[in-house]
Structure 1
Amino acid sequence: MALLRVIPTITLSLPYHGIASKPKTFPFSKFSVRNSNLQMQLQPHESRKLVVEVKEKLEKEHHSLPVGKNGRDDEDMILWFLKDRKFSVQDAVSKLAKAIKWRQDFRVSELTEDMVKDVAQTGKAVVHDFLDINGRPVVLVVGSKHFPKDPKQDERLCTFLVEEALSKLPPGEEQILAIIDLRGFGTQNADIRYLTFLFDIFYYYYPKRLAQILFVDAPFVFMPFWQLVKPLLKSYTSLVRFCSADTVRKEYFTEETLPSNFRD
């Protein structure tokens, strides 16, 4: 590919996953992409050219899609999806078109706190008031408070919280942390549809935005459920960490920022 220059001696990478990973965001900055066994680098003007190419293709092939923030002409969003698709223009166009159409159909931009207040009042999921020790916004899910009842409402709450968490990203941070507290989890709380939706939106519509998923103090009854869900998670399986509440206390928060349900 003419736009890519092979670097023979310098090895750079953009870590997206892992608790210690803290990628930085600089619009149209120089960054590297691993493709097979080659290490390649895009110059700012080259990444800019690809963004323009994607934007033109979206306008030509998907002109009915909305424009503006998170629309087909949103250059920050286009660049993010290009990075996710290893700078393949066609792959980025395809994934972007699907993501933008979903946002339009799901009416993501219209979601408000008032629209999800009834299901939010259950306390089953919230965005934590503080960042974790690595500077990431935190979505906290309490499994024992989830009772499958209204899938659409649960999906709206899930999407609203993801949007809220992303809005709290500090400068230089790109990913959020998900903590699923499984203490007290029972078969009545199992919901394959909801968990599948959660992972689907991160895979298709918010790619590379999820840094890690903590399953905290998973009981024995959760494991058969996990074996059913695990094949559906695609590459996100590698982001899952089973850990204890004590690990959450010691490795992810300070005494001041620890969520209240993890305090002794």
Structure 2
Amino acid sequence: MSLRLPPVPFHHRSAAQSTTAAKPQISSSSRSFLKFSVRNCSSGTDTHTSRKLVMKVKEKLEKDYYSLPTGKNGRDDEELILWFLKDRTFSVDEAISKLTKAIKWRQDFRVSEITEESVRKVAATGKSYLHDSLDVNGRPVLIVDPSKHIPEMFKQAEDERLCVFLLEKALSRLPEGKEEILGIFDLRGFSLKNSDLKFLTFLFDVLYYYYPRRLGQVLFVEAPFVFQPIWQLAKPLVKSYASLVRFCSADDVRKEYFTESTLPESFRH
């Protein structure tokens, strides 16, 4: 049993500034690296060191995993490489291991081929969508309404594609300098017929392995009593993401996460 939450997976943006007085020639690949900021103060890894590690990973991928695709979200995508280095606390071997699996998964899942038209039928249920506005912290917002999810209505593969489509769309809307999205599960009206533990596990696996550290917080809004045992079953399966979950009221959502002009329509009543 579990909820089906459509995803959301992975586009990163940031801005990087040079900290040295020298002005070396900058290659096209270097320019793409400088489009995002490293922000590694907490890890103790400065921009110069990060750059060296990114190039080390890139070279090893070219040598040992040359069959993997190149380009955006490929083995030579420096922004993607940096993100996985940050996720693995700048361990080159661990980053390579996780990154190669992620690139292969994107290839096998055919992420680049998922279009709005291909998920239109499932999206029409309204069970999950990307909110038009950002929250007060500048994060794209994915809203899931589990009461509109009937597990038998669609094949799980269709729900999974919608999930990944929404994750990709949310990450493509990250403002400059922002790295995370907000997930809201509106559990008002939820009942056992809506539970889908298998899909919930898929969702958090995708986030953990292929879109690491992209989910900043998850709100479980007005969770009914019947949801509690489902969550207890799901907690061990969602790994570290369980710590990001907050059970809250609809009023909390209105007061703490949005302004009057950005509040989602479903929370206006």
Structure 2 equivalent of residue 126 of structure 1: 129
How many Å separate the matches in 1 of 2:259 and 2:45?
38
Report the AA paired with residue 31 of structure 1: N
Unaligned runs of at least 5 residues, structure 2: 1-12, 17-35
Asked if structure 1 preserves the Cα contact closer than 8 Å seen for 2:182 and 2:215, the reply is yes
Asked if structure 2 preserves the Cα contact closer than 8 Å seen for 1:28 and 1:48, the reply is no
Q: Larger RCO: Structure 1 or Structure 2 (Cα < 8 Å, ≥ 6 residues apart)?
A: 2
Pairing partner for 1:138 from 137, 141, 145: 141
Pairing partner for 2:119 from 99, 116, 120: 116
**Residues 203-222 of structure 1 mapped to structure 2, 5 A cutoff:** 203-222=208-227
The CA RMSD measured in Å over matched residues stands at 1.4
Structure 1 equivalent of residue 41 of structure 2: 32
Cα shift at 1:62: 1.6
How many Å separate the matches in 2 of 1:28 and 1:253?
27
Classify the secondary structure of the residue corresponding to 2:213.
Answer: coil
Deviations 1:22-68 (A, max 9, x none): x975336462345xxxxxx2232211110011111112222111000
How many Å separate the matches in 2 of 1:246 and 1:186?
21
Instruction: Verify: 1:177 aligned to 2:186, yes or no.
Output: no
Structure 1 equivalent of residue 167 of structure 2: 162
Normalised by the size of structure 1, how large is the TM-score? 0.87
Instruction: Verify: 1:202 aligned to 2:207, yes or no.
Output: yes
How many Å separate the matches in 1 of 2:37 and 2:78?
10
Report the AA paired with residue 93 of structure 2: Q
Deviations 1:62-112 (A, max 9, x none): 211100000000000000100110000000000000000000000101110
Asked if structure 2 preserves the Cα contact closer than 8 Å seen for 1:28 and 1:47, the reply is no
Structure 2 equivalent of residue 65 of structure 1: 68
Distance of aligned partners of 1:24 and 1:68 in 2 relative to their CA distance in 1, 3 Å threshold: closer
Structure 2 equivalent of residue 95 of structure 1: 98
Identify the structure with the greater strand proportion.
1
How many Å separate the matches in 1 of 2:39 and 2:112?
31
Cα shift at 1:193: 1.1
Report the AA paired with residue 154 of structure 1: D
Classify the secondary structure of the residue corresponding to 2:138.
Answer: coil
Asked if structure 2 preserves the Cα contact closer than 8 Å seen for 1:72 and 1:100, the reply is yes
Structure 1 equivalent of residue 237 of structure 2: 232
How many Å separate the matches in 1 of 2:38 and 2:137?
23
Unaligned runs of at least 5 residues, structure 1: 1-22, 35-40
Extract structure 1 runs of 4+ deviating beyond 3 A: 23-30
Asked if structure 1 preserves the Cα contact closer than 8 Å seen for 2:14 and 2:37, the reply is no
Structure 2 equivalent of residue 151 of structure 1: 156
Deviations 1:168-223 (A, max 9, x none): 11111110000000001011000011111111111001111000000000000111
How many Å separate the matches in 1 of 2:127 and 2:59?
42
Cα shift at 1:233: 1.1
Report the AA paired with residue 58 of structure 2: K
Classify the secondary structure of the residue corresponding to 2:96.
Answer: helix
Classify the secondary structure of the residue corresponding to 1:42.
Answer: coil
How many Å separate the matches in 2 of 1:253 and 1:259?
8
How many Å separate the matches in 2 of 1:177 and 1:25?
22
How many Å separate the matches in 2 of 1:25 and 1:105?
31
How many Å separate the matches in 1 of 2:209 and 2:37?
23
How many Å separate the matches in 1 of 2:113 and 2:38?
32
